[in-house]
Copies of this chain bind each other. A is one copy, B any other.
């Protein structure tokens, strides 16, 4: 974080979207600003893909049209989030520097004509991106319209791992810095396996395509290297801008959509977290994925408010079937983001482009124009957000943490895992989903961070777990915390090397079990477990052969390869409790599990109807309860206060309309943590 003040100089909630005036004639610009004011827009992102029009040949700049645009916006009271256009270098750049082309793992060289990512390790690209960022900052640092800087666009997409010669050179330097001695690298990578021992730095290549899986530790390091190189690109531009400009600087993340960037590390570098989010349309409950993304955006920023930099007013254009949002859905989505900590709601994009690859992406002004459902909803949302200005700056509080570790994501995603049927993303969703249905608000967290503030910590898939992280989790339980761990956790260390002692050994103190063997199920094989009370749940995808040391068995396998063995265990450890679930449970099983775990942790599930999403933000003087009704029927909420969208006073009970939303200013909750410190 480069300075203390980290929020754009804007009144109320930020509202707007990407604005690409270069795609339209000047008469449209004048219409745009009128319509923006009509819609309540106060912030637009400009210049994200404008490099070719700003630097027309190497070192030759033309800012005239951008001056005009920014002045026009300013005259109309609309602030600017000014982009650096470095996600898409111009045609002349690639013609002049053909060596900067991005190379895929199989050696395919990427052509020009899409979003033209260059090699993040190419010196020519690095220089050029700093040059344009510098020139933009020099020119617009003091423009009163500019309140935020937007570096690049969605780092890591559409491609991240570059295998060009420039990348290989940079990789060797990065490795020398990381390991200093080749012996350390050989040890970390386990090069005694398959005869991969290195005797010189210059013999090391990128983990390019091989006929059988490449060294997993090498690949994991390449993911780290790639993340590092991308982040250095950001830092280089950020620092160039900072030389001239004092506004906050951000770049738009893709939380829960692209896992190639370690957002914990990235969030430390930006002044304000911003995130892009798009519903996965094939998922009929895509709002759960949205909630994950919002909670992750908030969590990586340490709970600070953040900006939803892009979402869509309706359908997108890049999915197999681009489902349009139904009336009210965009409002629900927007309010969920806000309820989960966003203080800015922006869209891609202001006006639907007539040409190019994204012309079928929805926008604030669709191809059908302003006399349209979408523009009416956009305008209404602008009004809603003005009524919610006071929510700005308030914070979400959570009693539960779910572990989310990008490095473990990368490691688990490599080839030759025990079964294709288990992925990190799916495990996160499975556990989060139960908490979401129960309206238990969640932070995401790293295994090694201070977890003492949480009543419950959930590790749905912590495949890679450093010893220090494991020690932290054991200590968390010892000190009274409740820990819930799924199968395939605590397997390897930071080098994808199996822990001494076997699978899960580092967590044995907390969990009281060891895993003797993984027992993946055949495709679509569905088995059963029996709980101690005789009820049954489904066992899917995975079972295990457990050695129970100090734990109590809560459920047994009825059938499948684990037949008669322990399936779910509970371990009293110090002042706390460690739960272990060695199979994938069906929905009823997850409910049974969490009921028991909540009881241990002292967590109370919300008593609202399932599908009424309720989140609370806490401000200095009041709390704000956001209620989003995903159901097709009205839902009752017990609350007292003032509903801010309607101004209605609510005394004890509010009915949220089918598909509707409400935000209620209510009294501050009782102080946290003081009432029952001994029960945790």
Given A95-B202, A195-B116, A418-B360, A110 and B517 contact (CB-CB distance below 8 Å): no
One of A29-37, A133-141, A496-504, A585-593 at the interface: A496-504
Q: Which residues of B contact A356 (CB under 8 A)?
A: 190, 193-194, 215-216
Mask: chain A, 183-220; 1 = CB below 8 Å from B; 0 = not: 00000011111111111101111111111111111100
Closest to A47 in B: B195
Taking a contact as CB atoms closer than 8 A, the residue among B57, B90, B498, B516 that contacts A373 in the complex is B516
Complex Cα–Cα for A515 and B372 (A) = 10
CB-CB under 8 A from A199, the residues of chain B are: 52, 56-57, 90-92
Q: Are B158 and A112 in contact (CB under 8 A)?
A: no
Q: What is the CB-to-nearest-CB distance from A469 to chain B, in angstroms, rounded to a whole number?
A: 18
Q: Is A545 an interface residue (CB 8 A)?
A: yes
Contact of A116 among B194, B421, B520, B545 (CB under 8 A): B194
CA distance in complex: A502, B363 (Å): 13
Is the CB of A305 closer than 8 A to any CB of chain B? no
What B residues does A317 contact at CB under 8 A? 416, 418
How many angstroms between the C-alpha atoms of A113 and B420 in the bound complex? 23
A502:B367 contact, CB within 8 angstroms: yes
A527 at the interface (CB under 8 A from B): no
Whether B190 contacts A355 by the Cβ 8 Å rule is yes
Task: Determine whether the beta carbon of B195 is less than 8 Å from that of A49.
Answer: yes
Q: Which B-chain residue is minimally distant from A57 (CB atoms)? A: B199
Instruction: Tell me, yes or no, whether A23 is within 8 Å of chain B by CB.
Output: yes
**Contact of A49 with B419 at beta-carbon distance under 8 Å, contacts A111-B206, A360-B518 already known:** no
Tell whether A526 is near chain B: CB-to-CB under 8 Å: no
**A49 proximity list for chain B (CB < 8 A):** 193-195
Given contacts A281-B522, A315-B518, contact A367 B111 (CB under 8 A): no
Among the 9-residue stretches A68-76, A322-330, A401-409, the one with 4 or more Cβ atoms under 8 Å from chain B is: A322-330
Task: Please provide the chain A residues from 408 to 460 with a CB less than 8 Å away from any CB of chain B in the complex.
Answer: 415-421
- Given known contacts A95-B203, A194-B357, A218 and B113 CB-to-CB distance under 8 angstroms: yes
Are B197 and A322 neighbours in the complex by a CB distance under 8 Å?
Answer: no
A520 to B157 alpha-carbon distance, docked (Å): 26
If A211-B158, A522-B281 touch, does A495 touch B355 (CB 8 Å cutoff)? yes
A508-538 to B contact mask, C-beta < 8 Å, 1/0:
0000001111111111000000000000000
Chain B contacts for A203, CB-based, 8 A: 91-92, 94-95
Q: In this assembly, does A114 line the interface, its C-beta being within 8 Å of a C-beta of chain B? A: yes
Number of interface residues of A (CB under 8 A): 123
State A460–B314 Cα separation when bound (angstroms).
26
Is the CB of A10 closer than 8 A to any CB of chain B?
Answer: no
- In the docked arrangement, what's the CA distance between A561 and B89, Å? 40
Chain B CB count within 10 A is highest, among A104, A115, A157, A202, for A115
The answer to whether A497 touches B355 (Cβ under 8 A) is yes
Q: Once the chains bind, are A92 and B200 in contact (CB under 8 Å)?
A: yes
> Which of B115, B215, B352, B501 is the one whose CB lies under 8 Å from A114?
B215
| Cβ A110 vs Cβ B209 within 8 A | yes
Contacts of A52 in B (CB 8 A): 191, 195-199
Contact (Cβ within 8 A) B22 A192: yes
Residue of A106, A373, A374 contacting most chain B CB atoms (<10 Å): A106
Contacts of A158 in B (CB 8 A): 211-212
Contact yes or no, B517 A88, CB < 8 A: no
Which residue of the partner chain B has the closest CB to A160?
B211
- Min CB distance A446 to B, Å, is 23
Q: Which of A34-87 contact B (CB under 8 A)?
A: 49-53, 56-57, 85
The 10 tightest CB contacts between A and B, nearest first, are: A190-B355, A193-B356, A111-B208, A114-B210, A52-B197, A88-B195, A158-B212, A158-B211, A91-B203, A49-B195
Interface pairs (18), CB distance under 8 Å: A52-B196, A91-B203, A92-B200, A107-B109, A111-B207, A112-B196, A113-B207, A114-B215, A115-B194, A193-B357, A321-B420, A321-B521, A323-B520, A324-B517, A358-B416, A359-B496, A367-B503, A368-B517
Known A22-B192, A189-B355, A366-B502; further 6 A-B contacts with Cβ < 8 A: A20-B192, A51-B195, A91-B204, A321-B418, A323-B520, A360-B418
